[in-house]
Amino acid sequence: MQPIELFVPGRLCIIGEHSDWAANYGYHSGHAIVAPTDQGIHAKVVSDQNLKVQSSMKDGTHLGPVTVKMELDELLREAKSGSFFSYIAGVAYIVKSRYPQVGGIFLDNYKTSLPIQKGLSSSAAVCVLVAQSFNSIYDLKMTIESVMDIAYEGERLTGSLCGRMDQVCAYNKFVHIEFTPTGIKSTPMEVKEPMYFVLVELRGKKDTKKILSDLNAGYQRALDNKHQNDLHTFLGDQNHKIVQQAISAINDGHHENFGKLITQWQQLFDTHAAPLCVEELTSPKLHSVLNDKDVMQLAWGGKGVGSQGDGTAQFLVKSKEQQENLAKLIESKFSMPCLSLCVLPSCSNTNKLL
């Protein structure tokens, strides 16, 4: 059997982070605007008796191969181990639970161009890749939503408190996502003019699990009633209002207004969410870039990415020239590498990392 070639992109949540898991509590729906990246995870997959995986990382290191028997107890043990391969085993466990007839796979992740722990859904991309690998090898006829659900449940099995936004990378489209306690609804978005983003690798450290754990705990048992009410309001009504305004701004081609909304969203996050995880969300590297006058003279707006923290920042700029100028400024002034992302109007579900 010839290997099946698969690619899963990362995803950039342009606005609306954390509203996905908050929606799971049933208080309100969550809303976000999400775009894929050209960076992602490349793999070749064939059938095997066991779950066998090897990976080549972005920094050139190689991991594995690791082999786990395709038995539920063995897969569960690996999923709970906290190892690099725990996410893969977690997804395989969910697949085996739902489709007992499947065998194993040999997944050769021969190239990874997606930065790890930078808010671009690297772990979710791995989980989606594994779910899609089983789907392709064993012709399980899963829908994209089913692949996303298995990837989500597999990642949660490891102890991660991720929401359902990360797995949206499976769509590989520029979309508005609504999250409810019972599922998600995606609406493809169109843009009239190119949208130019600069993503900044902050070269800091972040603990995504702690951020999610603290915010989830704060959502249920906040430090006091004010914190609880503030977080509920922010991830509920305030986030919904800003995302709806952002959709209107994009539809009307008013990208400068959209940039202002990005900045406004970040300010609300710093006020209402950051106090619940001070160790991670004070994020000095992120705020040093966001508050830099030279940077903001070139950008329409900026915010943190993903779970926030000192992982990645994003800026929306006016043009390709401004995109290049901002990247050069940040790289020279802060010694932080930049990526350029453009959402194109000719094909709004195609994004090019320049």
Cβ atoms within 10 Å of 61's Cβ, excluding its own = 9
Please report, for the domain that includes residue 123, its CATH number: 3.30.230.10
Do both 178 and 213 map to the same domain? no
Residue 120 confidence class, pLDDT cut points 50, 70, 90:
low
- In the three-class reduction of DSSP (H, G, I as helix; E, B as strand; rest coil), residue 42 is classed as strand
* Structural domain ending residue among the three candidates 188, 218, 235: 188
Do both 182 and 200 map to the same domain? no
HSE-up of 353 (CA within 13 Å, CB side)?
A: 16
pLDDT tens digit string along 312-328?
Answer: 999 999 999 999 999 99
Distances (CA, A) of 68 to 73, 89, 314: 10, 8, 39
Q: Give the residue-averaged pLDDT of 24-40.
A: 85
Do both 273 and 328 map to the same domain? yes
Checking 184-191 for CB contacts under 8 A at 24+ apart, the result is: 184/20, 184/145, 184/148, 188/348, 188/349, 189/33, 189/247, 189/250, 189/251, 189/348, 190/251, 190/345, 190/348, 191/250, 191/253, 191/343, 191/344, 191/345, 191/348
- In the three-class reduction of DSSP (H, G, I as helix; E, B as strand; rest coil), residue 347 is classed as coil
CA 8 to chain centre: 12
d(CA 342, CA 354): 8
d(CA 77, CA 83): 11
Do both 156 and 224 map to the same domain? no
Q: Which domain holds residue 169?
A: 4-188
Residue 167 confidence class, pLDDT cut points 50, 70, 90:
confident
| 7 Rama class: left (phi>0) / alpha (psi -120 to 50) / beta | beta
Do both 275 and 144 map to the same domain? no
Do both 139 and 20 map to the same domain? yes
pLDDT of residue 346: 43
Do both 151 and 296 map to the same domain? no
Mean of the per-residue pLDDT values of the chain: 88
Do both 112 and 211 map to the same domain? no
* Structural domain ending residue among the three candidates 164, 188, 212: 188
CB-based contact 302:263 (threshold 8 Å) = yes
Do both 170 and 244 map to the same domain? no
Please report, for the domain that includes residue 329, its CATH number: 3.30.70.890
Tell which residue, 121, 144, 137, 127, has the closest CA to residue 89. Answer: 127
Q: Give the residue-averaged pLDDT of 102-121.
A: 84
Do both 20 and 109 map to the same domain? yes
Number of compact structural domains in the chain: 2
Do both 138 and 23 map to the same domain? yes
Do both 246 and 263 map to the same domain? yes
* Structural domain ending residue among the three candidates 188, 211, 231: 188
Decide if pLDDT at 121 tops 80. Answer: no
Phi, psi of 66 (to 5 degrees): -115, 135
pLDDT of residue 86: 95
pLDDT of residue 142: 95
Decide if pLDDT at 282 tops 70. Answer: yes
